[in-house]
Amino acid sequence: MKKKIIFIITFILVISSTGYVYSRFQIKDTKSSSITVPENNYCINNGFTKLSDCMLVMENFSDSVSSAKSYISNKDSADVNHSAPTLKYKIITNSVTEKDVATLITKAHFTLGQSYTFDEVSGMYTLVNYTNKPLNDNYIGYYTCGGTTGSYKTCANIYKVNSYKIINEDDGSTTYKITNATRYSYNTVDSLDSQVGLYSTSDDDGTSYFYRGNVLNNYVSYAGFIWRIVRENGDGSVRLIYSGTSTSDTGKNVTIGSTKFNPYNYDPIFESYNYQPNFEVKKQDDSSTFTKIYENQVYNFGSSYRFDENTGLFSLSGDVITGKWSDVKDTAIASYPYVCFQDQSSDSCNWIAKVIGKTSSNSSAIISRITYGTKDYDSLFKTGTSSSLKTKIDNWYSSNILGKSDSNGVLYSDYLTDSTFCSDLNIEDSSSFSTFTDLFFGPYRRLHSSNSTITSTLKCNSNSRYTVSNGKLTYPVATINADETSFAGGINGSVNTNFYLNIGSTYWTMSPYFYQSNDMIGKAGNVTSNGIISANIITNEYYARPVVNLSKNVKISGGDGTQNNPYIVYNS
């Protein structure tokens, strides 16, 4: 006797957080658990076979591409001065030890505040009455953003210092480690704004349609990997950002691993995604304050220096003395003024300092720099040497896309088009360019400026456009830039855990931010683990996510872009 299996089929009306309304068949086997089967694909059923068309009509289940574009364009403009969604946060606390979090790192100085404030909209803590000092017993009960050599007073997590220890004291390099702390973090209370979906703005090729907010229907399966659609470019191509091998991947699994932006940090040229050093020896006419000094660090000081044109390195010469800054600074200033502050373990360096004084606190030096640095402003835009970030992405592309074919024998590289990427090294006044002054590049001025008339853009200056055809890219792949993350819903200084470009791990953009001349430090844009558009020192290691552009003619064989049913693409 055959067993009868009963299926109960029901229609379910689903209203997603994006506002989309769509039906699902739910098939319930009375002898097993329920499963959900997606409905037949809207795009294929209605003749929209191109991905570039399908992503548009799916925004409102439009009956034509032109009506979809009209619907999207008639929306209110995306407000890039606020995150999307805008969330409300509340404080939570828990006890942590040095084994629990990498943030409690060992450093010589911590920025320590007597108290803090918390912004429930941005999710950020700000230290109050703070100082940047080595730890001692007087600072038990103070608050800190973690170990740092800079004055970082605003962060998404702060720590109340309960105990610490001193380490490495025997070798003259005293450092400190927090061993127990109370961590102050946040929980999401609710959303104050539901801005989500496709919006439009202009780029250099026409109208771009970009995804914003907590998007749930921009998943694509291409070349054996999962991607998220960032936008349809003005030329009709579709920009994708790498998102791992499964739609359930998060964190580092939606990246291709970590890398520095660049291994060097002493010249603004190294903030370029692709650069070509055009250097000369330059001497600073005036002086500046150098703060990256550890008072108990041992340094070598020389009575003179020399420069090697073959290596581009400076080194100490003449008589040399060795000692802690706190002990020998007066003698060094008087007779042995040359020092490689940035490389304490060597007598050679990329730039050398002439110490001509000290600050009243004795913890910083007044120096005049001698560098082998960028000749002029136009040299910033010369290319030919890949950054570490570009090398990481190019190597991944070469190993995973180049030469690989789909089941029909079509090369995956033939799916792609040579659309423009943008890395903007433009400054406000090019005539004022100097490697001895602070430089604020375009992305920083747009995304971090208090000037409300400056806003994000998808347009790109001609000197900042990166393509294979103009020789600035090796392959048609790069990574996202800071302006694109702004349009997607991120913002400087505000936690945003709910927009689709937040992955729970920090990753690089290709955007330069600023060059801090006093400490010879460059910073480039990134998306932090909390979804903040921020900037970090280019010699730090963060994750990389490739970005490619599918041709406007690439088609779909199925899918609706959701996590359980990503678009499947092919190239005929």
Assess whether 204 and 169 both reside in one domain. no
Query: What pLDDT does 333 receive?
Result: 95
Listed residues 354, 374, 394: the one ending a domain = 374
**Separation CA 461–CA 480 (nearest Å):** 16
Cis peptide, bond prior to residue 85, ω within 30 of zero: yes
**246 and 116, same structural domain?**
no
Confidence (pLDDT) at 131 = 86
Q: Does residue 168 sit in the same domain as residue 268?
A: no
One domain for residues 159 and 295: no
Is residue 429 located within the same domain as residue 479? yes
- Are residue 529 and residue 470 in the same domain, yes or no? yes
Residue 506 pLDDT more than 90?
A: yes
Residue span of the structural domain in which 119 resides? 87-191
Q: Which residue has the tokens 């008639």?
A: 74
The answer to whether residue 57 sits within a structural domain is: no
362 plus 430 within the same structural domain: no
For 194, counting Cβ atoms within 10 Å of its Cβ (0-12 exposed, 13-18 middle, 19+ buried), the class is middle
Q: Mean pLDDT for the chain?
A: 88
- Residues 368, 382, single domain; the answer is no
Q: Which of 314, 345, 374 lies at the terminal end of a domain, its last residue? A: 374
When pLDDT is averaged across residues 544-563 and rounded to a whole number, the result is: 96
More confident residue, 83 or 293: 83
pLDDT, tens digit (0-9, with 9 covering 90-100), for 239-262: 999 999 999 999 999 999 999 999
Whether the CB-CB separation of 144 and 122 falls below 8 Å is answered with: no
pLDDT reading at 16 higher than 90: no
Is pLDDT above 60 for 5?
no
Amino acid, res. 147: G
Are 401 and 505 in a shared domain? yes
What's the whole-model pTM score? 0.87
Q: d(Cα 495, Cα 91) in Å, to the nearest integer? A: 13
Tell me which residue has tokens 């000092």: 133
Residue 69 forms part of a structural domain: no
Distance CA 29, CA 241 (A): 38
In a domain, 100, yes or no: yes
Average pLDDT on 504-514 reads 97
> Number of folded domains in the chain?
4
Cα distance between residue 476 and residue 223, in whole Å:
15
Judge whether 566 lies within some domain: no
Six token digits for residue 548:
């490619």
In a domain, 75, yes or no: no
Same domain flag for 290 and 416 = no
Angstrom distance (rounded) from CA 393 to CA 391:
5
Is 260 in contact with 280 (CB distance < 8 Å)?
A: no
Mean pLDDT lowest among 297-306, 419-428, 460-469 = 297-306
Question: The tokens of 326 are what?
Answer: 């706190």
DSSP 314: E
The confidence score (pLDDT) of residue 128 equals 95
Instruction: Tell whether 28 and 110 lie within a shared domain.
Output: no
Are 547 and 480 in contact by the 8 Å Cβ rule? The answer is yes
Residues 232 and 354 in one domain: no
Q: Is 81 within the bounds of a domain?
A: no
pLDDT surpassing 70 at residue 384: yes
Distance in angstroms (rounded) separating the CA atoms of residues 422 and 486? 14
CA 546 to CA 397: how far, in whole Å?
8
